[in-house]
Every structure is written in structure tokens, then in C-alpha cells.
Structure 1
Amino acid sequence: PNPFPAIRYHSLAVVADSLPDCLEVSAWTANGIIMGLRHRRFAVEGVQFHPESIMTAVGKDLLRNFLSGGKSHD
């Protein structure tokens, strides 16, 4: 589902203006806090929330999709 509830255990966040051009925002909170980044060319993803947490309702689906992916964005 999009959007979906996720849990985070900290207040760390990336500042959008600090991102290099090779990264794009792939997830954010309702308040606009960046929660996910993706490399525009390489198959590199990062998240600031915990998909493995039982509090992230679709966490297993997210991890399954991630593990079955691995394709470049070319």
C-alpha cells in the first residue's frame, strides 16, 4: 500500500538540500521528513525506518520485495 505506516526509533533525518544529484527521495513522512533514498543509477536503497519491526504492518512485504529485486535503475 502507498502510503503505509512504519515505525522508527530515532529522530535522525536527511536534509533534502544536502543530497547529491545521484540520490532521489523514495519515501517520506506525512510531515515531509525523508525516510528513504534511492541511487538514480545503481541498485542502492536506504531507509530511515524499521521494515523489520512488528510495528511496520507491511514490513515483511517490503523486505520480500527488496530481496527479490536487485535490478539497476538504468
Structure 2
Amino acid sequence: MALDDGEIMGVSHKTYLIEGVQFHPESIMTPEGKKILENFVKMVKNK
């Protein structure tokens, strides 16, 4: 993932279930933070 300026804001390993973001999705200032966390929990449950 990257912003429009090309700054990397998230990573994902191609082989292992390793993901990371460069911000706090749980913050009240993140418009879709709750959805990001919900999707993460669903993804982990399905692995």
C-alpha cells in the first residue's frame, strides 16, 4: 500500500501471514480504522 506520493504505508509478506501498517487504524481520526481491524480479525480467523 502507498499514498499518492509513493510513501509506503503497509506491508504484506508473500509467503507468511505477516502484515503491518504505518499508522494506527484504531485511531478515531482514521476514517476506516474499524473496518481495517475487522478485516484483519476475519483474515486471521480464516488462516
* Shorter-chain TM-score range: 0.7 to 0.9
Runs of 4+ in 1 over 6 A off after TM superposition: none
The percentage of counterpart residues that share the same residue type is 51
Aligned residues: 45
The alignment yields a C-alpha RMSD, in angstroms, of 0.8
Gap runs ≥5 in structure 2:
none
1:35 corresponds to which residue? 9
1:55 and 2:23 equivalent?
A: no
- Specify which structure has the bigger relative contact order, considering alpha-carbon pairs within 8 angstroms and separated by 6 or more residues: 1
Q: Which amino acid aligns with 2:17?
A: A
1:69 partner SS: helix
Instruction: Answer with 1 or 2: which has the greater Rg.
Output: 1
What pairs with 1:16-35 in structure 2 (closer than 5 Å)?
27-35=1-9
1:65 and 2:35 equivalent?
A: no
**Higher helix fraction (1 or 2):** 2
**Higher strand fraction (1 or 2):** 1
State the TM-score, normalized to the length of structure 1: 0.57
Residue of 18, 24, 32 corresponding to 1:44: 18
State the TM-score, normalized to the length of structure 2: 0.86
